Structure 1
Amino acid sequence: MSPEQIRVPPAKRRPTAPVATRRGDLSPRRVRQRSVQDPREAPGIEADTPGRGTAARFVPRYTAFVIVSALAIVFAISNQSLDRLWAFIEFGSGVFALLLLSFSVLWGVAAADRLLLDPNHRLIAQAVHRGSAVGGLGFLGLHIWSKITLGSTTWQAAAVPGLDGAQPILIGLGTVAGYLFVAVTVTGAVRGAFARKGQSRLWRALHMTAYLAWGASLIHGLRAGRAVVDWVDWGYAVALTGVTVALMMRLAPGRNPAPDKRKKEQ
């Protein structure tokens, strides 16, 4: 066999380390990479999970909130602020209920306008109308609860009109107004059910009782409670005039477009 036919297998080269390792590279970047250790490779070091880190950040905030709340409660008790809060609930909850419900009536009239407001503006007006109605009902419930709790009236007089011994008519008007406002709110929430059954006129008639409820609540608020100053009477008179004028403009002939135009808008 000739020397040309003899094949010598190539020698296997031993893997060498990177140049930086062989030269002992101690650059800051290399040192930082060496100092970072995988928690899974080091049994003595526990990994910092995201949940534990989040909890550790929020614990001081919760503690501070609890401390501030406790100090506020202690200050309120020592400073007789609870008495002021009760006084506000007793005499202010009814006023806020009447103001918010009046605000809801005004925005309800505005939301029905189709000449000055476009569809997007009417949606905004309807949202304000509904939100103020819900807020007014909340203060109305607080008003009824405070009057019963403080002994100003009984739950029988609050539930049935005309049973109050001192002011049967004025307190009864408040009871009737409360029932009407609740009925209007419920029927407004389920308006779609009336539309599917073809009873839009019935829904509109039920919703129009809000004006009766608002008028009854005005008389109840002005005459059943404490004596008010003259400017309050004038303010309610202006509000009543504004709602009346807006309602007359809404019901005026030609104010609302024809049904065919409404369908095109929708």
Structure 2
Amino acid sequence: MQRSLVLAALLALLVAANAGAFERMWEFLDFGAGVLALVSLTATVLWGLAATDRMLLGSGHRLFAQAVHRGTAVGGLGFLVLHIWVKIAEGRTSAVAALVPFTDAGRPLLIGLGTLAGYLFLVAAVTGAVRSAFAARGRSRWWRALHMCAYLAWCAALVHGLRAGRAAAAWAEAAYLLALAGAAVALALRLVVARRAETAAGSRGKDSGRNG
């Protein structure tokens, strides 16, 4: 039974190879891996913002948003690794340029932005995975600062994705610009709400000190 399954699988692979399926798959990966990485990481940023909303979402909805945020982050990093591997394998860039920002011989700025975005997304992912290590008092600000590298990474990734590869369709550029504008508004509202909460907490502390 097992031998027949192995033979059937090998036969299917031979048929697919003769039909040119692997060549088409490689062509898809050449363009699709980067697109999927950018889409996944865009979703990661947007769902991360949604997970912090307390004005419209309840605790259950925020937990769901956090789960989607983590899932898209893992998927985005996986597609990013695949994207880098494909570009190096095709000779579109070198391993050194993929590791060291702004060292590509042909397009140092655009490729360098992609490399920089990858490192910043990695920092955001690692800090998200080890958030408990920043639970001590006084460390939460460090966690926020490091985790917010995702916003810088996303901006760099957008420029890299829309300008370093094939020309994007007008609707794709419009969609990313709308996502960028929406994220900027959501982030601004988040900062305003946080500032008001800190101000209110400080006022309550002063009032309690006076009453004491």
Report the TM-score when normalising by structure 2: 0.88
Alignment of 1:56-67 (within 5 A): 60=1, 62=2, 65-67=5-7
Cα contact 1:249–1:255 (8 A) shared by 2: no
The counterpart of 1:90, out of the listed 30, 34, 56, is 30
Aligned partners of 2:88 and 2:21: how far apart in 1?
Answer: 21
Where does structure 2 lack aligned partners over 5 or more consecutive residues? 202-212
After the TM superposition, which segments of 4 or more aligned residues of structure 1 sit over 4 Å from their partners?
A: 62-65, 254-260
Cα contact 1:113–1:256 (8 A) shared by 2: no
Match of 2:101 in 1: 161
The counterpart of 2:113, out of the listed 173, 176, 180, is 173
Letter in 1 for 2:106: A
Q: Are 1:104 and 2:44 matched, yes or no?
A: yes
The structure with the largest alpha-carbon Rg is: 1
1:88, distance to aligned residue in structure 2 (A) = 1.0
Aligned partners of 1:254 and 1:162: how far apart in 2?
Answer: 36
The counterpart of 2:127, out of the listed 187, 198, 203, is 187
Q: Are 1:146 and 2:86 matched, yes or no?
A: yes
The counterpart of 2:162, out of the listed 201, 217, 222, is 222
1:252, distance to aligned residue in structure 2 (A) = 2.0
Aligned partners of 1:112 and 1:68: how far apart in 2?
Answer: 50
1:182, distance to aligned residue in structure 2 (A) = 0.5
In the superposition, relative to structure 1, how do residues 256 and 82 fare at CA in structure 2: closer, same or farther (>3 Å)?
A: farther
Cα root mean square deviation, aligned: 1.9
Aligned partners of 2:192 and 2:4: how far apart in 1?
Answer: 60
Match of 1:79 in 2: 19
In the superposition, relative to structure 1, how do residues 128 and 256 fare at CA in structure 2: closer, same or farther (>3 Å)?
A: farther
Aligned partners of 2:191 and 2:19: how far apart in 1?
Answer: 54
1:72, distance to aligned residue in structure 2 (A) = 2.3
For the residue of structure 1 that corresponds to 2:135, the secondary structure is helix
Over residues 98-154 of structure 1, what are the superposed CA-to-partner deviations in whole Å (9 max), with x where a residue is unaligned? 000000100000000112222222111111000100000000000000100110000
Letter in 1 for 2:178: V
Aligned partners of 1:253 and 1:120: how far apart in 2?
Answer: 20
Match of 1:38 in 2: none
Match of 1:202 in 2: 142
Cα contact 1:93–1:139 (8 A) shared by 2: yes
Cα contact 1:161–1:175 (8 A) shared by 2: yes
Match of 2:186 in 1: 246
1:197, distance to aligned residue in structure 2 (A) = 5.7
Q: Are 1:234 and 2:174 matched, yes or no?
A: yes
- Equivalent pairs counted in the alignment come to 200
Identity %: 56
Where does structure 1 lack aligned partners over 5 or more consecutive residues? 1-59, 261-266
In the superposition, relative to structure 1, how do residues 143 and 256 fare at CA in structure 2: closer, same or farther (>3 Å)?
A: farther
